[in-house]
Every structure is written in C-alpha cells, then in structure tokens.
C-alpha cells in the first residue's frame, strides 16, 4: 500500500509522518521510499509561509502591546502569531534561531486572533497578554512590559495561480510525483520544483489526495 510523506519530526529524525490514501496518519521510517506530493503557496508574503499562513519576523524588539499594534497595522491586518500543531511550533522555533519571540497567547488558552486553542506547549499557568516561544519550542510566561522580537501572522484570501502540472487545492498548489523516494530525496526534489513537502495536511488537501489517489497512480 502506497503512502505519502507529509512531515518530519525533528525530535525523532528517523521517523516521518505519512498519510494513507484511505486516510489516517502514522509514523513511518524516513528512509523508506514512498510516492509523495509537493506543495507551495502562490501568494505574496514578505515573510515566511507555512501551511497557508504568512509569518512576519520582526527585526526590532517591542513589548506586548507595541507588538500587537504593529501586527494589526500591517496590511493585511495581522495578529501576534497563533500556533496550531507541533510542526508549526518546530518550524517557528527553528526560525527563531536561538532567540525568544513573542506569540499571541493571552492568559493560558486564548489566542489573540480568535482561533481555536487546539495545540498547547505552555509550560506554566499564565495570566499575561503575551508569551514567548523559546528556542527548543517551549512557551513561557513573560512580563508584558518586557521587549522581545515577535512573530506576526495573517491569512490571505488570494486564489493561487499554479504553474503547469501543479493542481490548485484550497490556497496551495500541489504537484504529485509518481516515483518513490525517501523523505530527504523527496524534500530535495520538491525544492527543485520550487515547493516543499507539506508539513501539515489540511482537510481540503487530505480529501483531494484520497479522492484522486487511484486516478493518478493506478
């Protein structure tokens, strides 16, 4: 049975996450060879794009209220970043490059942007308006007057324009590969095509893979 590699857990470098064509996600050896998909985000973003979200990394340190205001005043209006998966958490932690960055977690379980609190890496009960994401991925309470660099994030409603051979799925462009590679080779292949291995599978992408799997590969 074929599988699609969708992510690599940096804390367990020999294992990746894969999705079966019938659904379901489980751990799988990164050295095993599977067919795979590449994705990219065909949208204008002045920062880093991850799973359809644009993340802007500040170069200047601000306190919580100043950082919130700066994110909101950007176009389109943004918020201090919310985090919804271990993959996004590890991705932003890597971008932090050893520094601590403010994120938009208010209290213990409320995001500034109003999104669902469906992933938690807070190490303590907290009442402050912002937290910091530390290098290594932990979230820690800080005084709201303390100054840190910060992550702003926003979604965009622009419809992607995909290159020939790529398929538009939601706000992403997807390229199917009918060749079996290990995770590292698949990642390199995607990068050569201007994409990446999807780090998070959205419901629309999972549905597309499951409904088109047989038509594409069999």
Mean pLDDT to the nearest integer, 202-215? 68
Maximum average pLDDT range among 72-76, 89-93, 125-129, 148-152: 148-152
pTM score, two decimals? 0.55
Instruction: Return the CATH number at 120.
Output: 3.10.100.10
Tell me, yes or no, whether 60 and 128 share the same domain.
yes
pLDDT at 29: 81
pLDDT at 80: 95
Q: Are 202 and 170 in contact (CB under 8 A)?
A: yes
Single residue among 109, 127, 155 that ends a domain in this structure: 155
Q: Which domain holds residue 70?
A: 48-155
Structurally, the chain folds into a number of domains equal to 2
Torsion of CA 207, 42, 157, 20, to 10 degrees: 10
Q: Burial code of 171-193, b = ≥16 C-beta within 10 A, e = fewer? A: bbbbbbbeeebbbeebbebbeee
Coil, strand or helix at 55: strand
pLDDT at 69: 92
Tell me, yes or no, whether 10 and 79 share the same domain.
no
Q: Are 64 and 144 in contact (CB under 8 A)?
A: yes
Tell me, yes or no, whether 62 and 138 share the same domain.
yes
Chain centroid, CA 94 distance in Å: 12
Single residue among 155, 174, 201 that ends a domain in this structure: 155
What pLDDT digit, counting tens, does each position of 95-114 carry?
888 899 999 999 878 999 99
Strands (E), 104-217: 105-106, 110-111, 131-133, 139-141, 149-154, 167-169, 172-181
By the 10 Å C-beta count (0-12 exposed, 13-18 middle, 19+ buried), 140 is classed as: middle
């Amino acid at each position: 049975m074929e599988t699609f590699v969708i992510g690599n857990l940096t804390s367990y470098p020999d294992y990746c996450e894969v999705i079966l064509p019938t659904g379901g996600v489980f751990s799988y050896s990164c050295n095993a060879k599977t067919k795979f998909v590449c994705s990219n985000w065909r949208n204008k973003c002045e920062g880093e794009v991850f799973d359809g979200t644009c993340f802007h990394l500040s170069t200047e340190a601000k306190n919580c209220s100043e950082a919130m205001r700066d994110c909101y005043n950007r176009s389109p209006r943004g918020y201090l970043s919310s985090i919804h998966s271990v993959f996004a958490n590890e991705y932003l932690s890597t971008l932090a490059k050893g520094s601590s960055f403010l994120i938009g977690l208010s209290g213990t379980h409320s995001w500034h942007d109003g999104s669902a609190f469906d992933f938690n890496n807070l190490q303590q009960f907290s009442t402050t308006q912002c937290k910091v994401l530390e290098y290594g991925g932990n979230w820690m309470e800080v005084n709201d007057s303390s100054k840190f660099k910060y992550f702003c994030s926003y979604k965009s409603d622009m419809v992607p324009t995909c290159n020939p051979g790529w398929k538009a799925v939601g706000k992403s462009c997807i390229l199917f590969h009918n060749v079996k590679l290990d995770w590292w080779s698949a990642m390199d292949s995607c990068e050569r095509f201007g994409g990446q291995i999807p780090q998070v599978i959205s419901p629309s992408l999972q549905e597309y893979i499951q409904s088109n799997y047989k038509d594409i590969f069999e």
